[in-house]
Structure 1
Amino acid sequence: MKMYLISDNIDTLTGMRLAGVEGVVVHEHDELKEALERTIADKEIGIILLTEKFGREFPEIIDDVKLHHKTPLIIEIPDRHGTGRRPDFITSYVNEAIGLKL
């Protein structure tokens, strides 16, 4: 199975290509939707990497794919500017999940 990147900037795509991951750069709602449909149709792709910006700006598209397709696995990655999450994201996630303060 292959990985495929859908990015909002060329720098992230360039870095992933150096690691052997192909992909595409998109910016608009319709471009993202079309890229996801093409990628899901390719049965050789097992993991779709998305930059976090898409998860923040177009959550309805990402959630729809996650709910209606078992494969491929969708993973949101930080782009070259770093993550958009708080520094204590993992700790607060665990606190909410198990109800204990770490």
Structure 2
Amino acid sequence: MKSFLISDNRDTFLAMRLAGIDGVIVNEKDEILKELNLAIKNENIGIIIITEKIQEKVMDKVMEIRIEENNHLIVTIPDRYGYSSKENFISKYINESIGIKI
């Protein structure tokens, strides 16, 4: 299984390429959804890595995939400036993923 990056940031894209992870740089919601759907349809991709800003733009689709899709893991990473939210991101992730507030 391969990993695939969907990023809105050139620096993140280049860093992942250096680590051997393929990906794309997209900015518009339509482009993001297109690349996300292509990644889901690709049986060789097991982990889809998205930046936090990408997740914010397509949160509904990301949550739908996390709930219904068993073959792909979606991992959200910060860009080079770090996480934008001040809230504890681990608690936020647990709350978004399984609905339990800590």
TM-score by length of 1: 0.82
- Unmatched segments (≥5 aa) in structure 1: 98-102
Query: Structure 2 vs 1, CA of residues 12 and 58 (structure 1 numbering), >3 Å: closer, same or farther?
Result: same
Coordinate RMSD, CA, aligned: 2.1
- Unmatched segments (≥5 aa) in structure 2: 95-100
Displacement after TM superposition at 1:89 (Å): 3.9
Identity of aligned residues (%): 40
Q: Secondary structure at the match of 1:40?
A: helix
Supply the AA of the counterpart residue of 1:48: I
CA contact (8 A) 2:6 2:54 kept: no
CA offset digits 1:39-62 (Å, max 9, x no partner):
111111110000001222221121
Please list every run of at least 4 consecutive aligned residues from structure 1 whose deviation after the TM superposition is greater than 6 angstroms: none
Matched residue, 1:9: 9
Matched residue, 1:100: none
Q: Secondary structure at the match of 1:76?
A: strand
Matched residue, 1:41: 41
Supply the AA of the counterpart residue of 1:26: V
Query: Structure 2 vs 1, CA of residues 88 and 64 (structure 1 numbering), >3 Å: closer, same or farther?
Result: closer
CA offset digits 1:25-48 (Å, max 9, x no partner):
111111011101111111111100
TM-score by length of 2: 0.82
Supply the AA of the counterpart residue of 1:5: L
CA distance in 2, matches of 1:91, 1:54: 20
CA contact (8 A) 2:3 2:47 kept: yes
Supply the AA of the counterpart residue of 1:17: R
If you compute each CA radius of gyration, which structure gives the higher value, 1 or 2?
Answer: 1
